[in-house]
A = this chain, B = another copy of it.
Amino acid sequence: MITLLTDFGTADYFVGAMKGAILSVDEDARIVDITHEIPAYDIAAGAFTLLVSYANFPRKTIHVAVVDPGVGTRRRPILIASENYYFIGPDNGLLSYVCEREANCRVFHLNKESYFRHPVSPTFHGRDLFGPIAGTLSKGIQPDLLGSEITDFIRLAPLSARPSGSDKVDARIIHIDNFGNCITNLTRDDLTDEMIASGVTLRVAYHEIRSFRQFFGETNPTAEDVFCVWGSTGYLEIVAFRASAASTLDAERGQRVMLTRH
Question: Could you list which residues of chain A lie within 8 angstroms of chain B, going by C-beta atoms?
Answer: 1, 3, 5, 7-21, 23-24, 27, 31-38, 40-41, 49, 52-58, 61, 69-73, 121-124, 127-128, 177-179, 214-218, 229, 231-233, 237, 241-242
Contact = CB atoms under 8 A, between A and B. Distances in A.
Contacts of A229: 122-123
B58 A24 contact: yes
Nearest to A16: B34
21 contacts: A9-B178, A10-B35, A11-B35, A11-B37, A11-B178, A12-B35, A15-B33, A17-B56, A20-B54, A20-B58, A20-B61, A23-B57, A24-B57, A56-B127, A70-B216, A71-B215, A72-B216, A122-B229, A123-B229, A123-B231, A123-B237
Report copies per complex. Answer: 3
B20 A123 contact: no
Contacts of A11: 35, 37-38, 178
Contacts of A1: 23, 27
Contacts of A13: 34-35, 49, 52-53, 233
Nearest to A36: B10
A5 B12 CA distance: 10
Of the candidates A21, A55, A217, A241, the one having the most CB atoms from chain B within 10 angstroms of its own CB is A217
Contacts of A24: 56-58
Contacts of A123: 215-216, 229, 231-232, 237
